[in-house]
Amino acid sequence: MRRLLFWSLCAAILLSTQVLYCQTVYFVDINSGDDQNPGTSWDAAKASISAALALTSDGDSIYVAEGTYGENLVLPRRVALLGGFPTGGGPRDPQNHATVIDGQNSGSVIKTNPLSNDLVDGFTVTGGEAEQGGGVYALGSSIFRNLLITGNNASQLGGGIFCGQEVTVENCTIENNTATAAPAMALVGEASVMFTMTIRHNVIRHNVMPETGQSGGAIIGTLHFMLDFDRNLVVDNIASDGGMFIEDSFGEKRFDHNTFANNTKRGLTLKNAFTVTVSNSIIYGHADFDIDIQDGDLSNPTIRYSDLGLIKGLHQREQSISINPQFTDPANGDYTLMATSPCIDRGDPQAPLDPDGTITDMGVFPYLQSPVNVETPAAGQPSTFALAPLYPNPFSRRSTLVITLQKPEQVKLAIYDILGRRVRQISVGTMGEGSHALIWDGRDDRGRKVVSGIYYVVARVGQKQAVRKVVKTP
């Protein structure tokens, strides 16, 4: 018996955090709007983001339709700026409705106020040219999410983004930016106030410091702040001190599940950087040192359950290795782990398990191990379920998964991206004996099309589970 189940869930325009910004909504559409319009609906949309910003009060939101906006924005108060809407309105989908803010080489593309609590989500930020923060100059408790920050320059710090105070940067790609120092990102604290910066789930690559630039890495951290730096890929950056340089900084710095690789000279450099902990990470493949501790014994970082190459300076090491991590194809930017990687199941056994239910792996990308029937049946007895490979694979619009049950069972399905983030969860319910065809339409829990890449389908049947890999193409 075969059954066809189509996974469809209602699309939601707003993210859960956006309930904080719901006082008044203004609409911007460069394709059909006019700045003489009131901006109160898609039919009466403004043509520029700046014109909508001039109307906002604290807690307002601005919805921005696809297109390229040649503007330099200053967010003066707590505002949510959301890109990725189709022209004329409709469900928000930044992946398929590219919304570009181009600074036209005349200053930072986006600036936030030190007292603000802004949310900026779903844009390409490009064409910035400034002393600091070419793409984004961020102060206050601002959140930057789902951005592509590319093609920006700073004559001093932070070609891609300059961060101060309680800034959060997540799910962003920061690439192909330049600066004389910190071409990707500058994290600048304060001398007398301690706050936390959160940098997680980002790709930071191909950022360049010119040969005449200052000392420092593609990312620079200085002065006093606390840092949560989680599941970031920092690779193939060109800077005098490689991937990241932290100096003269008090405050706990926590690095967890990161991958630093193939940056020039060094991966992570510490100079008078106190209370640094590196866990479940890979820092490997740098010409000079993978970790360079430049102050003798002052920094003395703690390194746990990580794969590190050559380390210079005093440090404390726990359950770590120094072995080639065996990336899949680093020459072409693929830093996932091969099946033979020594980093698989070598992370902290007390950390949350990987999506496949195994001990967490080192580095950004969990290797979801080859799907097998998890139970071990008695001799001569079949397993209670089997999971066939998805087809077609790769796929563009939809892919079919066939699950075969030996008896009625409760079935749950979940889909994860390559970072281990769940993008879709489906409770199928009780399914009868036999084979059942399940179709994934390439959308997430909000009904949005997922980006191209590798995904893992995890089927849970009773207390057992199996995993299959599938590749989504454009």
Q: Distance between CA atoms of 184 and 175, rounded to whole angstroms?
A: 7
Domain ranges of the chain: 103-337, 385-472
Q: Which residue has the tokens 């520029």?
A: 48
Q: Distance between CA atoms of 25 and 209, rounded to whole angstroms?
A: 40
The span from the first CA to the last CA of the chain, in angstroms, equals 33
- What is the CATH architecture assignment of 385-472? Sandwich (2.60)
User: What's the one-letter identity of residue 27?
Assistant: F
Residue 181, classed as helix, strand or coil, is strand
User: What's the one-letter identity of residue 402?
Assistant: V
Q: Distance between CA atoms of 452 and 454, rounded to whole angstroms?
A: 7
Are the CB atoms for 416 and 472 separated by under 8 Å? no
Are the CB atoms for 29 and 88 separated by under 8 Å? yes
Which of 131, 231, 115 has the alpha carbon at shortest distance from 166?
Answer: 115
Q: Distance between CA atoms of 170 and 440, rounded to whole angstroms?
A: 26
pLDDT of res. 297: 62
H/E run at residue 49: helix 49-53
What does the pLDDT profile of the chain (474 residues) look like in tens digits? Answer: 323 222 222 233 333 333 344 579 999 999 999 999 999 999 999 999 999 999 999 999 999 999 999 999 999 888 999 999 999 998 888 888 999 999 999 999 999 988 878 999 999 999 999 999 999 999 888 999 999 999 999 999 999 999 988 999 999 999 999 999 999 999 999 877 889 999 999 999 999 998 776 778 899 999 889 999 999 999 999 998 899 999 888 899 999 999 999 999 999 999 888 889 999 999 999 999 999 998 766 778 999 999 999 999 878 899 999 999 999 899 988 898 998 999 999 999 999 888 777 899 999 998 877 543 333 333 444 456 788 888 888 888 888 888 888 888 888 888 988 777 788 987 778 888 888 888 889 998 888 888 888 888 888 887 777 888 888 887
DSSP assignment of 365-411 equals S--PPPP--SS-PPTT---SEEEPPPBSSSBSS-EEEEEEESS-EEE
- What is the CATH architecture assignment of 103-337? 3 Solenoid (2.160)
Q: Distance between CA atoms of 221 and 437, rounded to whole angstroms?
A: 51
Q: Distance between CA atoms of 337 and 125, rounded to whole angstroms?
A: 30
CB atoms within 10 A of CB 454: 17
Q: Is 66 left (phi over 0), alpha (psi -120 to 50) or beta?
A: beta
Per-residue tokens: 293: 């501790």
